[in-house]
Amino acid sequence: MNKKAVLALGGNAIIQPGQKGTITEQFKNTRESLGGIVELISQGYQLAITHGNGPQVGNMLIQQNAGIDKGIAPLPLGVLNAATEGTMGYMIEQSLQNCLHQHKINQEVVTIASQVVVDKNDPSVKNPSKPVGPFYTKEQAEMLEKEFGWTIVEDAGRGYRQVVPSPIPLDIVPFKTIKQLVDNNNIVIACGGGGIPIYIQEDGTYEGVDAVIDKDFASALLAVKIEADLLVILTGVDKVAINFGKPNQQNIDKMNIQEAQTYLDEGQFPKGSMGPKIAAAISFIKLGGRRVLITSIEKIVDAFAGKTGTIIE
């Protein structure tokens, strides 16, 4: 039986800190992030690739908002998630096709816009707290709340931001197709930005939700659904650490899910950074996954060689 892996690219790796996010920069960063993918292929893994979209969808929201004064209604967040699946999937797909060609690897690469089922009664739907998009003045915030029904809150004295639900993913609509493609040795880019959030109505039809699904939870769910052995989560640090940023910081080479859960419960991994990645790793292992690797894009080849990275089993 062939080995299978899901590799989760972070959206911040494709628009890096200090960059404007031009398409030239994004293509360059994408091409530089593919060394680990070639390494996984060389180790015999069949692959699905996911990616974040935080900076990209944030930029789209700014572009949408710029059209409001011209009478152009902004697109809902779920549609923007779908748009980034297309734009970023295209970048990753073409960059990977070129990389495979250079390494004389004959594999197809395909991007699938992925609808992801959530519970319409998820607690986060009633109490949205995930900040997205730009900052607004109080006057702008009041206008947007009135005209579009957005939930907008003050953000630490820096201005006002829209907050949206971030529900837990429950199912992936095209997972059977994704699994079939991966099983046939195609590389599939799916669940970009956590996927397009939808819920199932009483008559069995689908309806979109204006929300953001955490990319790491969606990646873990995809890994379970396609029966992957390995989940690779790429982030901004080479290794997971406890007491991060303190004099007694301790980098972790390997831990089991009991240790990971203990650290998570102690608050070692903040909700806005490492917390969701650890929670997703625990979920994947509990549901039958074998191993999770967390490391940075820059060190991914070294991580596969056992020289860095954090393993959770």
Q: Return d(Cα 237, Cα 253) in angstroms, integer.
A: 13
Domain that holds residue 212: 3-115+168-312
> Phi/psi of residue 295, each to 5°?
-160, -175
Place of tokens 């986060």: 124
pLDDT in tens, 50-88: 999 888 888 888 888 888 888 888 888 999 999 999 999
Residue 304 pLDDT > 70: yes
Q: Return d(Cα 238, Cα 222) in angstroms, integer.
A: 24
- Residue 153 domain-assigned? no
- Residue 248 domain-assigned? yes
Number of domains in the chain: 1
pLDDT in tens, 132-166: 877 889 998 998 888 888 899 987 778 898 899 99
Mark residue 194 as left, alpha or beta (left: phi above 0; alpha: psi -120 to 50; beta: remaining): left
Angle between helices 77-102 and 54-66 (to 10 degrees): 130
Task: Give rounded-to-5 percent helix, strand, coil for the chain.
Answer: 40, 20, 35
- Residue 150 domain-assigned? no
Domain containing 236 — which CATH number?
A: 3.40.1160.10
User: Can you give the pLDDT at residue 157?
Assistant: 77
- Residue 272 domain-assigned? yes
Place of tokens 């089993």: 313
Catalytic residue numbers?
11-12, 130, 215, 277
pTM confidence score = 0.91
Place of tokens 């994947």: 284
- Residue 144 domain-assigned? no
Q: Are 74 and 64 in contact (CB under 8 A)?
A: yes
- Residue 109 domain-assigned? yes
- Residue 68 domain-assigned? yes
- Residue 160 domain-assigned? no
